[in-house]
Structure 1
Amino acid sequence: MTGDGPRRAAVLGSPVAHSKSPALHRAAYAALGLTGWTYEAIDTTAEQLPGRVRAAGPEWAGFSVTMPGKLAALAVADVRTRRAELVGSANTLVRTDEGWRADCTDIDGMAGALRAAGLPAQARRAVLIGAGGTALPTLAALADAGIGEVSVVARSAERARGVLDLAQTLGMTAQFIAFDDDRTLRTACAVTDVTVSTVPASAAASLVTSVADTARLVDVIYDPWPTPLAAVVSAAGGTVVGGLVMLLNQAYSQVEQFTGLPAPREAMAAALDL
């Protein structure tokens, strides 16, 4: 909602000083002519988030939420979108007449990254590396893109349980692959339509040889770049899309929900040199 007069928004997380969200949102507000709008980065832990959100005055239009606050953001909300409830986390809080609404635009971000990677309409198989907070919205985006089979790569089957359970809920066929099962992972990556890595670059470094033959890689990391996985897939002739593309696409939806106006996509992409 655009409202009258100055409005405020911010990204909440810890650490958050490195976030590129301020550059994206400020570029959007400038392009939309919202001269009274501000956007800042506020270091906020998961424990601090509920109090900060509840104390926000009427001038606050919304919050972007990064780690480690996405579960807390879902819990503090007065209303929740179906998809936020489905994946169990929220990266977006929007002030509405009903109170704070939680949404998960990370799904939009991954959907945009998959399009940028050239995922074909007939794609059916994916490899998903990691089982943390980003893996769940990634899985939802993969299901929306028509993926019906997913291999989940994690340290243990227990750690992968939440992702495997969501895959079942989404009607997908899922298998677990251990991080150290090089042979099975290599085979899966060689035949998959897309591999998505949701883990830190250091954690994925040991998988370089196994992932090298994948045709398309989406790596949610953008700093440092290129990641070891991105470098090896690119060197082998594969298509690589990095985390900045995901960040940009999730921000489009946030800007639209905060302001009630269409996101100025060219101006926002220019803010990231994309």
Structure 2
Amino acid sequence: MKRAAILGFPVEHSLSPILHNAGYTAAGLDDWIYERIPCTEKDLPRIVSQADDSYRGFSVTMPGKFAALQFADEATERARLIGSANTLTRTEHGWRADNTDCEGIQAALDELIDDTVLPTRAVLIGAGGTARPAIWALGQRGITHLTVINRSDRRAELQSLVEHFGLDCGFTSFDDDIEQITMAADVIISTVPSAGIEPHIAQLGHAPTFDVIYEPWPTPLVVRSAANGHRTVGGHVMLAAQSYSQFEQFTGIYAPRDAMRQALEAYLS
């Protein structure tokens, strides 16, 4: 039996097993199984280092993404640049860290942005862990102007990413004129729980919107943006797309994308 698992705390509600196990079934990998393992940031080095050879890889959710990068024997360039990892893959050299969250956000942006539009201005709500792969994806997309809206000024933590992509980046709080900022944006990415921004929803929903939240759905921000005539995409797109590369790194075969996403959407519906 070959295994992979999601590490996190809490982890019992993770939907990653639905995606990966659906992929195993579709690909005929009858000797593979994907599990949930409760794991704090402090526990991660012990759990991964003691995993037997049947474990080929681990998906990592909070609070272990920073610990995963620090623990790994090697890391991809994007994981080092983002500063965290959601993927650990066993190799002949030890454990390799990667960050596939950025692929998930890229997929969401692909569905959100019209091919005929060349976006240049983006608004990022929140400056936590998901903000990092979001900036990476926006930089890859060709965004040149970024405004980060957050309750506290965390520009120092994001500065290396901003500088890598040469972004003209401003940081602001919810006390500023965020309605004017969002009305000038080509795309909005929200990485925060809905409750934290609910008092400001009317000021935020003025551009195509990707909300990383997928449950409950739709979020108040998505409802407002859609009511204003803008495209919207939910976090289920990111969740599915970030799993494809994980699947391929763990198993060494191409991920059955359609089957995996259909399984997730069927569960959520």
TM-score (norm 1): 0.94
Matches within 5 A, 1:247-258: 247-258=239-250
Q: Distance in 2 between matches of 1:91 and 1:155?
A: 25
Q: Which amino acid in 1 is paired with 2:39?
A: T
Paired residues of 1:130 and 1:153 also in contact (CA < 8 A): yes
Q: Does 1:163 align with 2:155?
A: no
Which whole-Å CA distance do the structure 1 matches of 2:159 and 2:197 have between them? Answer: 20
Letter in 1 for 2:194: A
Contact 1:168–1:174 (CA<8 Å) still a contact in 2? no
Structure-2 residue corresponding to 1:192? 185
Partner of 1:144: 140
- Give % identity: 49
Equivalence for 1:209: 202
RMSD: 1.2
Post-superposition Cα deviations, 1:226-248, rounded to whole Å, max 9, x if no partner, equal 11111111122111101100001
Q: Partner amino acid for 2:11?
A: V
Q: 1:190 to 1:118 in 2, by over 3 A?
A: same
Q: Which residue of 1 aligns with 2:120?
A: 124
- Structure 1 residues 82-91 or 232-241, which shifts more? 232-241
Question: Which runs of 5 or more structure 1 residues have no equivalent in the other structure?
Answer: 1-5
Structure 2 stretches lacking a partner, 5+ long: none
Q: Deviations over 1:240-273 (max 9, x none)?
A: 1011000011001111111111110110011112
- For residues 11-58 of structure 1, the C-alpha deviation after alignment (integer angstroms, 9 at most, x for no partner) is 000111111100000000111111010101111111111100000111
- Residue 207 of structure 1 contacts residue 229 of structure 1 at CA under 8 Å; is this kept in 2? no
Aligned length: 265
Q: CA deviation at 1:201?
A: 1.1
| Aligned partner letter, 1:210 | Q
1:3 aligns with: none
Give the secondary structure class of the aligned counterpart of 1:273.
Answer: helix
Aligned-partner Cα distance in 2 for 1:77–1:169: 23
Aligned to 1:35: 30
Alpha-carbon distance, 1:8 to partner: 0.4
Shift of 1:171: 0.9
Q: Which one-letter code corresponds to 1:57 in the other structure?
A: D
Aligned partner letter, 1:111:
Q
Residue equivalent to 1:56: 51
Structure-1 residue corresponding to 2:221: 229
Q: Distance in 2 between matches of 1:229 and 1:113?
A: 16
Measure how far apart 1:163 and its partner are: 2.2
How far apart are the structure 2 equivalents of 1:63 and 1:207?
A: 37
For 1:177, give the aligned amino acid: T
Residue 265 (structure 2) pairs with residue 273 (structure 1): yes
Give the secondary-structure state (helix, strand or coil) at the position aligned to 1:272.
helix
In structure 2, the residue matched to 1:88 is 83
The correspondence for 2:237, drawn from 234, 238, 245, is: 245
Extract structure 1 runs of 4+ deviating beyond 3 A.
Answer: none
- Mapped partners of 2:205, 2:141: distance in 1: 23
Q: Would you say 1:104 and 2:99 are equivalent positions? A: yes
User: The residue matched to 2:265 in structure 1 has which SS?
Assistant: coil
Query: Alpha-carbon deviations, 1:48-74, whole Å to 9, x = none?
Result: 111000001111110000010000100
CA distance in 2, matches of 1:210, 1:103: 36
Q: Deviations over 1:130-153 (max 9, x none)?
A: 000000011000000111110011
Partners of 1:246 and 1:28 in 2: how far apart? 16
Aligned with residue 135 of structure 1, among 131, 145, 156: 131
TM-score under structure 2 normalisation?
Answer: 0.96
- Equivalent position to 1:24, from 19, 26, 35: 19
Residue 119 of structure 1 and its aligned partner are, at CA, apart by 4.8
Cα deviation, 1:89-109, whole Å, max 9, x if unaligned, reads: 000000011110000000100
Counterpart in the other structure of 2:173: 178
Structure 1, residues 200-229: CA drift from partner, whole Å, max 9, x if none?
Answer: 111121220111222x10000111211111
